Structure 1
């Protein structure tokens, strides 16, 4: 399945979610700028707050190895494909590189979000949390979200995306209470491949969309 653009795909997901969640207390977490474009019509139709959680992979270039991801609150979540023993070994041997990469990535995230700051957990507390991506490639961003919301009580986690890999869907079946995926790919290509229009606005414009979402409630 291919989509005209991310907003059109988001409209389809919004229609799927409307009957059950229009009158429920929901908060939406988008996982990147493309995810915000998918989430925008969902938030408008469900009258939900919309936030974005940024994260960055920590990769050891010399080893071609992804150790995990760090989110904008500074928490690091290890790559679940590594055993605890493997991760401990790599993190000890490459400790200085690992720590430097973490500092660089959190600085990059802070530059990106600027005055937008981190997500307030109070916006999510006690609500149904709808996690939206423009494409779930693997389980890494899912694990980052679960780590981020761990300190709070919430009702349900609903995952929504126009497209996802089989591997990501398998993980979502375990970690989410409900999933809405329009197309599951056995051989997942680059996320942009599934959209005819890949025009994603600059991050500052995306953040403005988030700030103004209440004005666009339908």
Structure 2
């Protein structure tokens, strides 16, 4: 399955999430930046609030593109213990990089003009434009539950088949339009997979006031 755009993928996901239309105490939450473009048509179709939640990977000291862990903006951190041991990564390095990522996420949230939502008792429909390794999504689910979310539903256009059983154990429900046995890159499943910039995210969020406003 190939999606034309993130927006098309969001509209298709909304059809699978119809049961949550106008559901009380329910919010669509995107992982920025790509997830925002998928989440907006879901929020619009289901008449639900739209918000964001940040998770960032902690990179290897030898390769900034290779993640050895992740940290949520609420401070929950997970590391790949096998990778950390194999690379000889120190606790000091992990703490320092996690602190850097927390600072970056706080700066982005300030730029986007959104306070950290109160997820207590909420049903969260957690959206991204796709899952590659799953580390960020797993951490996001756990962080949201730790923050008080009553239910977390993961909704993504594409994900690797092999991680779905574990993801289904972590989240309360998982909705995936296409499960791939050979997912090398999420972008391969889109005709248009341009990098969203901050201006696009800000414009989207301005169209959707914070819940309770």
TM-superposed deviation, 1:214: 5.3
Structure 1 stretch 177-186 or stretch 98-107: which is displaced more?
A: 98-107
**Any gaps of 5 or more consecutive residues in structure 1?**
none
| Structure 1 counterpart of 2:61 | 61
Measured against aligned partners, the alpha-carbon deviations of 1:52-109 in whole angstroms (never above 9, x if no partner) come to: 2222211232389743101223332223xx36xx86x689961332232222222322
Q: Secondary structure at the match of 1:213?
A: coil
User: Would you identify which runs of 4 or more consecutive aligned residues in structure 1 move more than 6 Å?
Assistant: none
Q: Distance in 1 between matches of 2:148 and 2:49?
A: 17
Q: Distance in 1 between matches of 2:63 and 2:187?
A: 27
TM-score, normalised with respect to structure 2? 0.84
Q: Distance in 1 between matches of 2:161 and 2:41?
A: 25
Q: Distance in 2 between matches of 1:160 and 1:51?
A: 14
**Any gaps of 5 or more consecutive residues in structure 2?**
none
The structure 1 residue matched to 2:106, chosen from 90, 103, 110, is 110
| Structure 2 counterpart of 1:145 | 140
TM-score, normalised with respect to structure 1? 0.82
Q: Distance in 2 between matches of 1:205 and 1:48?
A: 20
Q: Secondary structure at the match of 1:101?
A: helix
Measured against aligned partners, the alpha-carbon deviations of 1:167-198 in whole angstroms (never above 9, x if no partner) come to: 33122211122221110111102111111012
Q: Secondary structure at the match of 1:59?
A: strand
Q: Structure 1's 164 and 92: CA in aligned 2 closer, same or farther, altered over 3 A?
A: closer
Q: Structure 1's 213 and 200: CA in aligned 2 closer, same or farther, altered over 3 A?
A: farther
| Number of equivalenced pairs | 207
| Structure 2 counterpart of 1:211 | 206
| Structure 2 counterpart of 1:17 | 17
Q: Distance in 2 between matches of 1:14 and 1:63?
A: 37
Q: Does 1:101 align with 2:97?
A: yes
Q: Distance in 2 between matches of 1:90 and 1:28?
A: 38
Q: Does 1:119 align with 2:120?
A: no
- Say which structure is richer in helix: 1
- Please say if residues 129 and 158 of structure 1, whose CA atoms lie closer than 8 Å, have aligned partners that are also in contact: yes
